[in-house]
Amino acid sequence: MSVLAAIAVLALLIFVHELGHFLAARLQGIHVNRFSLGFGPILWKYQGPETEYAIRAIPLGGFVGFPDDDPDSDIPPNDPNLMRNRGVLDRAIVISAGVIANLLFAYLVFVTQVAVVGVPQAFNYEPGVLIPQVVSTDSPAALAGVQDGDIVLAVNGQSLGEGEAAQKALMEAITTSPNRPINLTVQRNSGQVNLSVTPKPDAEGVGKIGVVLNPNGKVEFRRPNGLFEVFSLAAREFQDMFSRTVQGFVSLITNFSSVSGQVAGPVKIVEQGANLAANDWINLFPFTAIISINLAIINILPLPALDGGQLAFLLIEALRGKPLPTRFQESVMQTGLMLLLGLGVFLIVRDTTQLSFFRNLLQ
């Protein structure tokens, strides 16, 4: 059930993004002839008065299609409501609307979380240290079998206890044991497993295993004091999440070699979402928000086949007073699309081979 919930979240966010493009076009009277979730062969479709709505086989995104270059279209080439015949500003609004929709949706998710779940008031500690994320598939932790959502109860037979002291004790055991194996007693689902992890020394000789460590426990919530607190707290949560996500992308660009292993594809995203949902359904709120913000930031990057790449072409058109040659734009976009699809397939294969059930099949 948790896996289905995570898949539903990812599909919903893609739908929100494409819906932003679609509504921005339709509200301006621009013709739209396709609204598709995914790429490749059509699994399901519905033909409306003007627009074909479809779900396709490859769940790596989606697209909104325009009849501008459709040879079978009955719309005259000089129709002012064709996308290509609109001004730069109108087209920029349509192209950027998907990003805006994802950001707005992320904020509304935080609003819903505060209104429905409540305002965080206290944290009730439980035994152990939570590992919410294994940051790299080739890290010592991943190679030893540590998984997202594991709770470390003991190190080398010594119980960690609970709270910040437990987190500090585990961190000390890791950092002071470079190239020396440490034995972890891990709670996973309803059982326990013992794992041997050998921390890898960094440039300063400090042991690292490639995980995020959080105190284990549950947050206690209270009801919000009116709508003003709901919207203001949601804005604060959104700002904090957006800032941290941007910092993560900056770190990826400036220090790619060391953090590239943290890049996740659809399979890894679903796995992380499923683990969070299995632990507590409330975790789906921040999970949904952060993925929505990530989709927005990724799509605004000035790369071919992304919204940011199309906006870059519009900027060049505005500066030149005329667009770049259509054939050149199409070649760049098609090349970018193939590269993105290739990256998506690579991430799916890589992340699938890292799943615990897949590893068990190979053993």
Report the number of distinct structural domains present in the chain. 2
Q: Mean pLDDT over all residues of the chain? A: 83
> Coil, strand, or helix at residue 198?
coil
Residues 190 and 101 in one domain: no
Q: Does residue 231 sit within a domain?
A: no
Residues 93 and 24 in one domain: yes
Domain enclosing residue 129, as ranges: 122-222
Q: Does residue 311 sit within a domain?
A: yes
Residue that wins the pLDDT comparison between 255 and 194: 194
Mean per-residue pLDDT, 8-33: 91
Residues 65 and 41 in one domain: yes
Examine the pLDDT at 363 and tell me if it is beyond 80. Answer: no
Q: Does residue 154 sit within a domain?
A: yes
Determine the pLDDT at residue 266. 61
Q: Which of 222, 252, 276 is the C-terminal boundary of a domain?
A: 222
DSSP 13-68: HHHHHHHHHHHHHHHTT----EEEEEEEEEEEEEE-SS-EEEEEEEEEEEEEE-GG
Residues 55 and 156 in one domain: no
Residues 95 and 175 in one domain: no
Task: Report which of 138, 144, 125 is spatially closest to residue 193, judged by C-alpha positions.
Answer: 144
Residues 87 and 179 in one domain: no
Query: How many whole angstroms separate alpha carbon 17 and alpha carbon 103?
Result: 9
Q: Does residue 259 sit within a domain?
A: no
Percent of the chain with pLDDT over 90: 33
Determine the pLDDT at residue 362. 41
Determine the pLDDT at residue 256. 57
Determine the pLDDT at residue 89. 94
* Inter-residue long-range contacts of 309-314, CB under 8 Å, 24+ positions, other chains counted: 309/333, 309/336, 310/95, 311/92, 311/95, 311/96, 314/88, 314/91, 314/92, 314/95
> Which one-letter DSSP state was computed for residue 162?
B
Catalytic residue (choose from 18, 162, 237, 271): 18
Query: How many whole angstroms separate alpha carbon 8 and alpha carbon 14?
Result: 10
Percent of the chain with pLDDT over 70: 85
Residues 83 and 178 in one domain: no
Neighbour count for residue 126 (Cβ, 10 Å): 15
**Neighbour-count burial of 138, counting CB atoms closer than 10 A to its CB (0-12 exposed, 13-18 middle, 19+ buried):** exposed
Residues 43 and 82 in one domain: yes
Look at the block and give the residue holding tokens 């979380």. 113
Q: Does residue 325 sit within a domain?
A: no
Q: Does residue 208 sit within a domain?
A: yes
User: Residue 188 belongs to a domain with what CATH number?
Assistant: 2.30.42.10
Query: How many whole angstroms separate alpha carbon 312 and alpha carbon 265?
Result: 25
Mean per-residue pLDDT, 232-236: 93
Q: Does residue 297 sit within a domain?
A: yes
Task: Report which of 149, 103, 153, 150 is spatially closest to residue 127, judged by C-alpha positions.
Answer: 153
Residue that wins the pLDDT comparison between 189 and 108: 108
Determine the pLDDT at residue 16. 93
Q: Which of 222, 248, 265 is the C-terminal boundary of a domain?
A: 222
Contact of 6 with 277, CB cutoff 8 Å: yes
Residues 107 and 126 in one domain: no
Mean per-residue pLDDT, 4-27: 88
Q: How confident is the model at residue 261 (pLDDT cuts 50, 70, 90)?
A: low
Least confident window among 19-23, 55-59, 168-172: 55-59
Determine the pLDDT at residue 251. 74
Residue that wins the pLDDT comparison between 324 and 30: 30
Mean per-residue pLDDT, 278-298: 84
Determine the pLDDT at residue 305. 78
Determine the pLDDT at residue 92. 95
Q: How confident is the model at residue 264 (pLDDT cuts 50, 70, 90)?
A: low
Determine the pLDDT at residue 91. 93
How do residues 186-197 score in pLDDT, each as one tens digit?
Answer: 998 888 999 999
How do residues 91-103 score in pLDDT, each as one tens digit?
Answer: 999 999 999 999 9
Residues 32 and 106 in one domain: yes
Q: Does residue 194 sit within a domain?
A: yes
- Residues 22, 24, 26, 27, CA torsion sign: positive
pTM over 0.85: no
Cα 29-33-34 angle, rounded to 5 deg: 120
Q: How confident is the model at residue 35 (pLDDT cuts 50, 70, 90)?
A: very high
Examine the pLDDT at 13 and tell me if it is beyond 70. Answer: yes
Residues 86 and 28 in one domain: yes
- Does 126 qualify as catalytic in the annotation? no
Q: Which of 160, 191, 222 is the C-terminal boundary of a domain?
A: 222
Determine the pLDDT at residue 299. 87
Query: How many whole angstroms separate alpha carbon 273 and alpha carbon 284?
Result: 7
Residues 63 and 103 in one domain: yes
